[in-house]
Amino acid sequence: MTTTEPATAARAIAAEAAESYREALGERLIGAYLLGSLSYGGYSPAASDIDLALVLTDVREPDRAAVAKTTEELQERSPLHRKLSVFWASLPALREGRDDGRFPAQDRLQLADHGRVLLGEDVLAEIARPAAAEMLLESARFAIAVLAAEEVTAEFHEPRRLLADKVWFTKAVLFPVRFLYSGTTESGRAANNDEAIEWYLAQPELPAGSLVRLAERVRAGHPLDPDEARPELAAGLIPLYRHYIAVETRRLRESGAPEDLVSAFEDWDKRLS
């Protein structure tokens, strides 16, 4: 198998899915677009999702159920289909920088910068790019809701799933790297994992460089060996997160973010220490 075949197979799944959503949503589907690593390069069979964007003329009450039902049916077809992740909203909302379906700011920015038409009209130039403040708040709230959860904090102290699940391993290590890098980009474009990793590793004074390199290799297909990963996690994961928390707390204060969000980062840091 050549290195291009996994990405080709993933694109075929996305094209198949786009047709299924057109059947479900009818003429109100303006277009379907590739997102993520399949659109800008760097697709990893070991860790990447198959990201698809749907743009509708408008959003109606039955749409959420229709998208969910179609997604569930598609994901049951094969292990590769289970990687399908779908974002959707109306074109009027996307023009105004709103989300009236399921379309977080980071993914709206990716659509504007890197979206590739699978079917329908090319409306990418009409998508409003989210402001930096919105991106900061969204990533911070995601971090608190998902990564700062009690069970995840406990796992960071005593890894089990991290040593067995290569997708979770790469995501857990690379989320803070990408969040840190995204806060440095002034061009308003979407950052990707490869850029974030290169930026992070170019700064030898930052913590957990060896762990980030291992996550990069696992993402590229290197086996996740618990004997190799365990000491890297023990030495680097919590220092990596505490560095991210310190930088993000400063950014949130400087941006005038809600005090409860700042406090949540401070509490997270205490639980990791």
The C-alpha atoms of residue 102 and residue 56 are separated, in whole angstroms, by: 12
- The β-bridge partners of 31 are 55, 120
Q: Taking the model in full, what pTM does it have?
A: 0.85
Task: Please report the pLDDT score of residue 6 as a whole number.
Answer: 87
Question: How buried is 98 (Cβ within 10 angstroms: 0-12 exposed, 13-18 middle, 19+ buried)?
Answer: middle
Task: Please report the pLDDT score of residue 102 as a whole number.
Answer: 96
How distant, in Å, are the alpha carbons of 39, 41, 86, 168, 263 from that of 50? 10, 12, 8, 16, 35
Using DSSP, state whether 188 is helix, strand or coil.
coil
DSSP tag of 124: G
Q: What is the pLDDT along the chain (273 residues), one digit of tens a residue?
A: 344 588 999 999 999 999 999 999 999 999 999 998 899 887 888 888 999 999 999 999 999 999 999 999 999 999 999 999 999 999 999 999 999 999 999 899 999 999 999 999 999 999 999 988 899 999 999 999 999 999 999 999 999 999 999 999 999 999 999 999 987 764 455 678 888 999 999 999 999 999 999 999 999 999 999 999 999 999 999 999 999 999 999 999 999 999 999 999 999 999 999
How distant, in Å, are the alpha carbons of 61, 215, 217, 225, 233 from that of 228? 50, 11, 12, 5, 9
The C-alpha atoms of residue 219 and residue 225 are separated, in whole angstroms, by: 13
Task: Please report the pLDDT score of residue 185 as a whole number.
Answer: 61
User: Which value, in Å, is the radius of gyration of the alpha carbons in the chain?
Assistant: 19
Using DSSP, state whether 194 is helix, strand or coil.
helix
Q: Which of 194, 200, 210, 208 is nearest to 44 (CA)?
A: 194
Task: Please report the pLDDT score of residue 176 as a whole number.
Answer: 96
Q: Where are the alpha helices (DSSP H) in 89-208?
A: 91-95, 105-114, 132-142, 150-157, 161-164, 166-182, 193-201
Using DSSP, state whether 127 is helix, strand or coil.
coil
